[in-house]
Amino acid sequence: MKIAITSTNNSLDSTFDLRFGRAAYFCIFNTEDLSTEFIENKNVNTKSGAGNKAAQTIIESGVSRVISGDFGPKAKDMLNKFKIQMVMLDDDSKTISSIIEQLKSNNNYA
Amino acid sequence: MPIKIAVASGKGGTGKTTVTVTLFHYIKENITSKVQIADCDVEEPNSSIFFDDLKPIESKEVLQMIPSINTDRCSFCKKCVDYCEFNATVVIPGVGFAEVNSALCHSCGACLYACPEDALTEKSHAIGQLIKFGNNQETPLIEGKLKVGSAMQTMVINHLVNDDWLNGDIILYDAPPGTSCSVVSTVSQANYIILVTEPTPFGLHDLKLMIELVRKLNKPFGVIINKADKGFEETNTYLMSEGIEILAEIPFRVDYASSYAQGSILKNIPGDINAAYSKLISNLKNKWVHYA
Ligand code: SF4
Ligand code: SF4
């Protein structure tokens, strides 16, 4: 399965982004082949509906779980509609690679 | 044409609503009996609590036309998504999902224009209501009330300030607190703006933001310093250096404040407060010659 992690930049040593709708990038981690891919969030500076739009990006990339700091009500509604699990993490000092390592070691993406 | 005066302030707590209501009574007694308040604080309208003798007598819904997508006709081309400036449309081709999020839609109509399949039709949604408060003789208060969950404050305000229920000689718009779009919608429709401030460092900070806003809108305005006996002189100094008119300085009286709560604003009014409002009324009378 694919897990999306909100990221402040486009590499594995970037730090975690607490914002969902206005995250800079989405890191898509594929648990089957352990590959990662960074998708730029083109709607960071949009004036409204950033969460709705980000949810759409996530849904289209075939993700089943999203890890972010917080989800707004509209993003939540949309992600719920597609049964995408939302996981909240509040530590913005973590890097993307450390989060991925944690996922791997917990093997907690069954 | 009625004279429209917006009463606004920075953040809450300056006593904006009590000033509006007191001013209402003074106008009624000294200028015209045909004065009305439009409570534009649509998220939390509260002017009605100051009018014991008024009851809601009529209400009407504020409707917004929002497109909805008929997925049987939709080809999932995403044109409506590209056209929607507000990110209200979600189309996910793979799974046959197409929807307009009504809370984000601003009814601009762009998606209707963009759709090649004629898959969008507009449906009306209630986003709030206008409530007329009155008694046997008159209807001095109209309240706008946003439906919980709706983000269309400005649309409800625009309906309120242009509604034909507001038919008096003088209309007081009780503006929402702050400097948001809702405030702009309210004050931009007024002929004159009264800014209410409290003489404290925070109050002055907020006041400066408000002044910046009304100057941008190019509207004539003046300031009322409420709770004026706080001994913070910077507010007066600042206003004088900017050449901004101080319409009135209203002292604070604890015992009098409690009579607000009982709805008896004009009874037992202390002499110094009465003097401040009388001065305000004569100040405003002079101005309104230009707007009437
Ligand atoms: S009417 Fe305008 S705001 Fe509403 S969904 Fe269509 S394009 Fe978006
Ligand atoms: S523009 Fe029309 S056909 Fe294209 S996705 Fe939107 S609703 Fe469907």
Are B47 and B179 in a shared domain? Answer: yes
Position A110 pLDDT exceeds 50: no
- Name residue, tokens 């709708």: A21
Residue with tokens 């991925």: A100
Distance from CA of A106 to the nearest CA of B (A): 32
Residue B56 included in any domain:
no
Give the whole-angstrom CA distance, residue B75 versus residue B79: 10
* Distance of alpha carbon A6 from alpha carbon A27, whole angstroms: 6
Are B239 and B111 members of one domain? no
Q: In this predicted structure, what is the pLDDT of residue B264?
A: 60
Residue B109 Cα: closest atom of ligand 1: 1
Span of A15-29, A50-64, B6-20, B232-246 with lowest mean pLDDT: B6-20
Non-local CB neighbours of A21 within 8 Å, separated by 6+ positions = A43, A50, A51, A52, A53, A54, A72, A75
Q: Given this model, what pLDDT does residue A11 score? A: 94
Q: What average pLDDT values come out for chain B (292 residues) when binned by 10 residues?
A: 90 82 90 93 89 90 94 94 93 90 90 95 94 90 90 91 92 87 90 92 92 93 88 89 92 67 64 88 80 57
Same domain, B251 and B184: yes
**Same domain for B172 and B238:** yes
The finding on whether B120 has its CB within 6 A of some atom of ligand 1 is: no
Using a cut of 0.90, tell me whether the model's pTM lies above it. no
CATH number for the domain including B99? 3.30.70.20
Residues B251, B165 share a domain = yes
E strand segments, chain A: 2-7, 25-30, 36-40, 65-68, 85-88
> What pairing do the DSSP bridges indicate for beta strands B192-197 and B170-174?
unpaired
Which pLDDT score, from 0 to 100, does residue B79 have? 95
State how far residue B90 is from chain A, nearest Cα, in angstroms: 7
Distance, CA B91 to ligand 2 centroid (Å)?
Answer: 8
Domains of chain A, by residue range, sit at: 2-106
* Domain end point (choices B95, B125, B155): B125
| Per-residue confidence (pLDDT) for residue B292, from 0 to 100 | 54
One domain for residues B266 and B212: yes
Q: CB–CB of B101 and A52 under 8 A?
A: yes
Q: Is B202 on the interface with A (CB under 8 A)?
A: no
Number of domains in chain B: 2
**Do residues B167 and B102 both lie within one domain?**
no
pLDDT at A67: 95
Res B18: pLDDT = 86
Looking at the fold, whether B163 and B47 belong to one and the same domain comes out as yes
Q: Is B95 helix (H, G, I), strand (E, B) or coil?
A: helix
Q: Which domain holds residue B89?
A: 64-125
B179 lies in some domain:
yes
Calpha distance B111→B122 (Å, rounded): 11
Residue B163 is given by DSSP the state -
Residue B134 lies in a domain: no
CA atoms of A4 and B269, how far apart (whole Å): 64
CA pair distance B43, B143, nearest whole angstrom: 11
**Chain B residues with CB-CB distance to A21 below 8 A:** none
CATH classification at residue B248: 3.40.50.300
A2-106 fold: Nucleotidyltransferase; domain 5 (3.30.420)
Question: What is the residue type of B291?
Answer: Y
Q: Give the Cα separation of B125 and B123 in Å (integer).
A: 7
For the segment A85-109, what is each residue's pLDDT rounded down to a tens digit? 999 998 889 999 999 999 888 765 5
Asked whether B190 lines ligand 2 (CB < 6 A), one says no
ipTM over 0.90: no
In a domain, B170, yes or no: yes
B95 and B206 share one domain: no
Q: Based on the fold, state whether residues B115 and B146 are members of the same structural domain.
A: no
**Which helix (H) or strand (E) segment is B223 a member of?**
strand B221-226
